[in-house]
């Protein structure tokens, strides 16, 4: 039972070969797909930032009205 709990260790060369073999199995996206996804991430990040900015302004305004500090 103790023998089954131990993980088999491998050398660095074997590890590098296994990593290379797994890297060949990966389906990589094309350049246009990568550019399109990057643009979408930038657009969505900007929209979320603008929404949070506006929400912060509104909440700050409401808090100032309630507390009478503004």
pTM of the full predicted structure?
Answer: 0.61
Candidates 43, 39, 23, 19; CA nearest to 31 is 39
pLDDT digits (tens, 9 = 90+) for 15-69: 999 999 999 999 989 999 999 999 999 999 999 999 999 999 999 999 999 998 8
Count of residues in the chain: 70
Domain boundaries, the chain: 29-70
pLDDT score recorded for residue 52: 98
Alpha-carbon 62 to chain mean position:
33
Tokens of 35: 């550019």
Alpha-carbon 18 to chain mean position:
26
């Amino acid at each position: 039972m103790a023998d089954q709990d131990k993980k088999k260790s491998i050398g660095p060369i074997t590890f590098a070969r296994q990593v290379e073999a797994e890297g060949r199995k990966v389906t990589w996206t094309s350049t246009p797909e990568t550019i399109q996804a990057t643009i979408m991430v930038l657009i969505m990040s900007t929209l979320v930032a603008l929404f949070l900015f506006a929400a912060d302004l509104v909440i700050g305004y409401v808090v100032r009205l309630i507390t009478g500090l503004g």
